Structure 1
Amino acid sequence: MKQSLASRLGLYFSVIVLVSPAILVFLWMLSLSLKNEADNTAFPPVFIPNPPTLANFIDVFERNDFVEYTINSVIVSFGATIAALLVGVPAGYGIAKAKAGGSAALILVARITPGLSYLVPLFLLFQWLNLTGTLLPILITHLVITVPIVVYVMIGFFEGLPGELEEAALVDGATIWQAFRTVALPLARPGIVVATILSFIFSWNNFIFGVVLAGRHTRTLPVAVYNVLTFEQISWGPLAAAALLVTAPVLILTLLMQKEIVAGLTAGGVKGG
């Protein structure tokens, strides 16, 4: 009993230590967004706004077309996520069933390679095709991020599925495509949910492709944070307000889908017999 209590307290303490820096940063960003500029630059720092103000949020909306940026982000993130699922789920299934470890390693390399390394050749390509300034090149470049995520997540899930079910379907006369569609795909639903959420989050938060390839009317929400910066000074209040507005959709999505994320990641860690 004492050992169980001690291990539980140790787990809680470890979680607090790991999570507290992120929580403190988020609370400080919230504090900056609700204070005027005098309080934001005061020393010693003022943590609790007195009184709180929404002027920073109003300033962000006045200086940026947030509605247009939000529509652009939704189009790009949903488009990149859907395209990645259409390509990545079958690819993950094929790699898992073929036990192609080399292909899996290649996908991992593509996943950990910085997106900045793809930027120059892709920019030159889209400039040659006269597509810079439109949403299409941003959507295509986001596939560099989303496809490896989907493929790598789905490899783990398909490797964990019992092979006997698909073998039974093949014995009954089903083709490999029918076995994938009717047997493997429904069982891999938790993995698809996790891959969808992760792809959307990484696509939504991507900044570098949007700031380089986007035009005046095709910028995404993360670029709005960049637009708040000026050469004269850093306005901490509007900057924090813009960052909160960009983070809010992803944060809400994560909180709403946290059970599905945990269930999917847990299911992906269980190997079939």
Structure 2
Amino acid sequence: MTPKQIIGKIGLWFAVLVIVSPAILFFLWMLSLSLKFEVDNAAYPPVFIPEHFAWKNYADVLASNRFVTYFFNSLIVTGSAVLALMVGVPAGYGIARMAAHKSAIVILIARITPGLSYLIPLFLLFQWLGLLGTLVPQIIIHLVVTVPIVIWIMIGYFETTPLELEEAALIDGAGRWQVFRHVALPIAKPGIAVAFILAVIFSWNNFVFGIVLAGRETRTLPVAVYNMISFDQLSWGPLAAAALVVTLPVLLLTVFAQRQIVAGLTAGAVKGG
């Protein structure tokens, strides 16, 4: 390895460290807050590693009936990502194969439009239908936002996949649906994984929809963390523990699926070259 390559690699790692270190620091500090008693959290100078760990913070969070209810609500709402895939993947394949550029532009507009733009009209609609306070409005509005995300990702992915295999299957007598199911889908697994993970992250972390459209018993986990903030007293330990519990599922999903994420994000660049 030449000195120039060594300097380049050192520079790359330094840049990665500068970009990633704030996020790592914030995560470690939140972990420290969740494991400390309030006396240690209010201490000056700050105590990063306490002498005694306050596991009670996690126990109090998990023992809350409302928190468990919100957890299952988040699971149900986030499960709409599967519906988004069922709609978005075939739509992305059809738009890519038909070269429907105008439809792609419409999807792009829907993709970049802020979700808050849909909130007020859908709120009035669900209020008129008497659905406010149930999980149905949240599932629908999450689909409204995540389906364009999935379609846009899959359009870009299907446009970079080779057509030779599909044409060979058509020559052998396969129908268009069979080609999509047995040829296109297996090739598009990395792209589907990326679209699914992005849809899950959006649905799991979204706060505004959960607090506006949901009722007392149908709110999601981000709202549960918000409810732990009060004007009278702010307990940093339980609040940080709740935030970590909310973050953990998405973090584990990203860690275990990182290979598929990298493959899906780089496939277009590799095949395009």
- The equivalent residue for 2:144 is 144
Deviation at residue 62 of structure 1 after TM alignment: 4.4
CA-to-partner distance for each residue in 1:158-195, whole Å, 9 max, x for gaps? 01111122222233333332322222112111111121
CA RMSD of aligned residues (A): 1.8
Larger CA deviation: 163-172 vs 28-37:
163-172
Moved over 4 A (4+): none
Give the fraction of aligned pairs with identical amino acids, expressed as a percent: 66
Whole-Å separation in 1 of the counterparts to 2:46 and 2:124: 46
TM-score (norm 2): 0.93
1:189-200 paired onto structure 2 within 5 Å: 189-200=189-200
The letter of the residue matching 1:25 is F
Whole-Å separation in 2 of the counterparts to 1:58 and 1:183: 49
Whole-Å separation in 1 of the counterparts to 2:32 and 2:101: 48
1:69-148 paired onto structure 2 within 5 Å: 69-78=70-79, 80-148=80-148
The letter of the residue matching 1:43 is Y
The letter of the residue matching 1:56 is N
Matched residue SS, 2:54: coil
Larger CA deviation: 56-65 vs 236-245:
56-65
CA-to-partner distance for each residue in 1:91-133, whole Å, 9 max, x for gaps? 1111211223333233233223221221111111111111111
Deviation at residue 227 of structure 1 after TM alignment: 1.0
1:169-248 paired onto structure 2 within 5 Å: 169-248=169-248
CA-to-partner distance for each residue in 1:62-111, whole Å, 9 max, x for gaps? 45523222211111111x11110111001111121122333323323322
The letter of the residue matching 1:109 is I
Whole-Å separation in 2 of the counterparts to 1:184 and 1:248: 33
Whole-Å separation in 1 of the counterparts to 2:144 and 2:38: 39
1:17-36 paired onto structure 2 within 5 Å: 17-36=18-37
Matched, 1:58 2:67: no
Larger CA deviation: 220-229 vs 63-72:
63-72
Consecutive unaligned residues of structure 1, counting only runs of 5 or more, are none
Whole-Å separation in 2 of the counterparts to 1:90 and 1:62: 42
The letter of the residue matching 1:58 is A
CA-to-partner distance for each residue in 1:34-76, whole Å, 9 max, x for gaps? 1222322333322222322123223333455232222111111
Count of aligned pairs: 272
The letter of the residue matching 2:116 is L
Whole-Å separation in 2 of the counterparts to 1:113 and 1:202: 14
- The equivalent residue for 2:48 is 47
Residues 180 and 155 of structure 1, relative CA distance in 2, 3 Å threshold: same
The letter of the residue matching 1:32 is L
Whole-Å separation in 1 of the counterparts to 2:27 and 2:158: 36
Matched residue SS, 1:271: helix
Larger CA deviation: 53-62 vs 119-128:
53-62
Tell me if structure 2 keeps the 8 A contact 1:126–1:137.
yes
CA-to-partner distance for each residue in 1:177-223, whole Å, 9 max, x for gaps? 23222221121111111211221121111111111111222121111
Larger CA deviation: 43-52 vs 223-232:
43-52
Whole-Å separation in 1 of the counterparts to 2:9 and 2:100: 41
TM-score (norm 1): 0.93
The letter of the residue matching 1:146 is T
